[in-house]
């Protein structure tokens, strides 16, 4: 039997797409190999969001080249955003690659493998959602649901619109059916995926058009699904109806990821984010008013072209004021073909690094402070498996998306109650409560 090996880089959308690749390959009769050197088919699902994403991948590609040299019958395939962004030159620069495909072309891998494969093939026009393909889930009780593909925003730093194309929403009826199938298969927690989930539905035909908040309500009704999450929303589309849904839908978790990028309105304008600092803070105020205990997390970029000390200070202010439960922080990285890469006033690297240090200090301090609100409370935890740092303990996640390490007897996929005894910026510690019902 032929074996495949897939390495995944990048965001949750790529994790989702890789699960679909694996599902498709399994249905073609392939089995998964744990080691790359044992595989007949070596695949990479790539990311190009920042330069270090590219660099990380290139050494893996070097190993694939060596393995292909040892056994020319091996097939090397690259999919995902990097592949899409180098589509015109991939076979010239990397002649050992047999097949390259963009994010909308995963199903074509099957066609390539079933053909005579006389020459290298590239597939790059968006054709279909990977969500239609069979999946091979990493976790039995957690599932992705791809609700849309692509992004219509024009953030000046971002490569995604050029790699994932224009936004297309999937039919809501089809999504409910898929959620029902996931539930029947043992999934308890669903994460809705899209580049900009809360603009979902605007491109649908009139007769099937629903808003993102309506879709949340439809998924909430699916029997067997206990938790619903989504990523990523855009602050410009984070309207009252979505925030209300967090207050009213029992399955929708108390966590909103609200990517700030910068706390300075002039920088936001140059980033083409289409909101100001004030509008962003209004969204935060609305969340705090309607869902007081909601966790808020964010993405922040430091050192965007033209960012002055005053601009950066504004970002620090927002971090202090909001008190994020967590934040992904990135040093700005110029990307090929983006507007910001051509801007003249690029920030010197040492300045970016120094600002990053100050930002991380503020983010972690505020997250640690925020975390203390869980100490002493009994929290509902979905168990994921043994703790990474101490296998005698169990790891899981609360609805607010914080990881918990705890003592207890629970099995993966179970929902248990844990009494929280300590909290750091990233994780909570506690003990499983054996004799009580769920409820914080």
- List contacts with ligand SAH (CB under 6 A): 49-50, 157-158, 160, 195-196, 232, 234, 259, 261, 299, 301, 330, 332-333, 335
Residues 101-140 as x/- pattern, contact with ligand SF4 by CB under 6 A = ----------------------------------------
Q: Annotate 32-51 with b (16+ C-beta within 10 A) or e (fewer).
A: ebeebeebebbbbbbbbbbe
Q: Among 102, 161, 233, 305, which residue sits at the site for ligand SF4 (rule: CB under 6 A)?
A: 161
Residue owning tokens 């730093």? 157
- Cβ neighbours for 348, distance < 8 A, ≥ 6 positions apart: none
Count of H-run helices and E-run strands, the chain = 13, 19
Binding site for ligand F3S (CB under 6 A): 10-11, 13-14, 47-49, 80-81, 159-160, 163-164
Task: Give the integer Cα–Cα distance in Å for 112 and 125.
Answer: 15
For ligand SF4, give the closer residue by CB, 330 or 406: 330
Report residue 334 as tokens. 């110029």
Is the CB of residue 150 less than 8 Å from the CB of residue 165? Answer: yes
Residue 97: which of ligand SF4, ligand SAH, ligand F3S, none does it interact with, CB under 5 to 8 A by kind? none
In whole angstroms, the minimum distance from the beta carbon of 306 to ligand SAH comes to 14
158 scored as a contact of ligand SF4 (CB under 6 A): yes
- Cβ neighbours for 361, distance < 8 A, ≥ 6 positions apart: none
For ligand F3S, give the closer residue by CB, 160 or 420: 160
Report residue 180 as tokens. 């029902």
For ligand SAH, give the closer residue by CB, 184 or 353: 353
Task: Give the integer Cα–Cα distance in Å for 324 and 301.
Answer: 15
In whole angstroms, the minimum distance from the beta carbon of 46 to ligand F3S comes to 7
In whole angstroms, the minimum distance from the beta carbon of 157 to ligand SF4 comes to 7
Residue 335: which of ligand SF4, ligand SAH, ligand F3S, none does it interact with, CB under 5 to 8 A by kind? ligand SAH
Which segment (65-73, 153-161, 209-217, 407-415) binds ligand SF4 by CB under 6 A?
153-161
Residue owning tokens 């067997």? 224
Report residue 203 as tokens. 């491109």
For ligand SF4, give the closer residue by CB, 161 or 326: 161
Residue 48: which of ligand SAH, ligand F3S, ligand SF4, none does it interact with, CB under 5 to 8 A by kind? ligand F3S
Q: Provide φ and ψ at 95, rounded to 5°.
A: -65, -15
For ligand SF4, give the closer residue by CB, 170 or 234: 234
Which segment (33-41, 66-74, 155-163, 202-210) binds ligand SF4 by CB under 6 A?
155-163
Q: Among 110, 153, 249, 341, which residue sits at the site for ligand SF4 (rule: CB under 6 A)?
A: 153
Residue 161: which of ligand SAH, ligand SF4, ligand F3S, none does it interact with, CB under 5 to 8 A by kind? ligand SF4
Count of Cβ atoms closer than 10 Å to residue 66 Cβ:
10
Count of Cβ atoms closer than 10 Å to residue 185 Cβ:
13
In whole angstroms, the minimum distance from the beta carbon of 325 to ligand SF4 comes to 20
Determine the 3-state secondary structure of 151 from DSSP: coil
Q: Provide φ and ψ at 100, rounded to 5°.
A: -130, 140
In whole angstroms, the minimum distance from the beta carbon of 365 to ligand SF4 comes to 26
Q: For residue 192, what is the enclosing H or E element?
A: strand 189-193
Is the CB of residue 235 less than 8 Å from the CB of residue 280? Answer: yes
195 scored as a contact of ligand SF4 (CB under 6 A): yes
What does the CA dihedral 148, 152, 157, 163 come to, rounded to 10 degrees? 60
């Amino acid at each position: 039997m032929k074996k495949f090996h897939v390495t995944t880089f990048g965001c949750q959308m790529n994790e989702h797409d890789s699960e679909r690749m694996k599902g498709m390959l399994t249905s073609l009769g392939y089995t998964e190999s744990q080691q790359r050197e044992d595989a007949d088919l070596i695949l990479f699902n790539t990311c190009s969001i920042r330069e270090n994403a590219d660099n990380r991948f290139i050494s893996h590609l070097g190993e694939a080249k060596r393995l292909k040299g040892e056994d020319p019958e091996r097939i090397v395939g690259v999919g995902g955003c990097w592949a899409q962004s180098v589509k015109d030159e991939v076979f010239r620069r990397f002649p050992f690659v047999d097949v390259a495909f963009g994010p909308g072309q995963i199903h074509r891998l099957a066609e390539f493998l079933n053909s005579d494969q006389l020459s290298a093939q590239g597939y790059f026009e968006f054709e279909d959602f990977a969500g239609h393909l069979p999946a091979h889930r990493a976790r039995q009780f957690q599932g992705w649901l791809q609700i849309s593909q692509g992004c219509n925003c024009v953030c000046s730093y971002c490569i995604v619109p050029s790699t994932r194309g224009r936004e297309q929403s999937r039919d809501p009826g089809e999504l409910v059916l898929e959620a029902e199938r996931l539930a029947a298969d043992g999934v308890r927690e669903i994460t809705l995926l899209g580049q900009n989930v809360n603009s979902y539905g605007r491109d649908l035909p009139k007769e099937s058009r629903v808003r993102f908040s309506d879709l949340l309500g439809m998924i909430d009704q699916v029997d067997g699904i206990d938790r619903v999450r989504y990523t990523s929303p855009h602050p410009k589309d984070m309207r009252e109806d979505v925030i209300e849904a967090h207050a009213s839908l029992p399955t929708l978790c108390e966590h909103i990821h609200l990517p700030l990028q910068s706390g300075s309105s002039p920088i936001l304008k140059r980033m083409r984010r289409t909101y100001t600092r004030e509008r962003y803070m209004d969204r935060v105020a609305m969340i705090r008013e309607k869902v007081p205990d909601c966790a808020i997390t964010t993405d922040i970029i430091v050192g965007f072209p033209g960012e002055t000390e005053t601009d950066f200070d504004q970002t620090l202010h927002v971090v202090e004021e909001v008190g994020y439960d967590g934040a992904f922080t990135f040093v700005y990285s110029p990307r090929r073909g983006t507007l910001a890469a051509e801007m003249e006033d690029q920030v010197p690297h040492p300045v970016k690094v120094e600002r990053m240090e100050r930002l991380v200090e503020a983010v972690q301090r505020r997250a640690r402070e925020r975390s203390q609100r869980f100490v002493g409370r009994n929290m509902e935890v979905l168990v994921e498996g043994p703790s990474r740092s101490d296998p005698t303990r169990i790891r899981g996640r609360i609805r607010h998306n914080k990881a918990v390490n705890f003592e207890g007897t629970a099995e993966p996929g179970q929902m248990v109650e844990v009494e929280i005894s300590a909290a750091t910026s990233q994780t909570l510690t506690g003990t499983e409560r054996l004799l009580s019902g769920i409820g914080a």
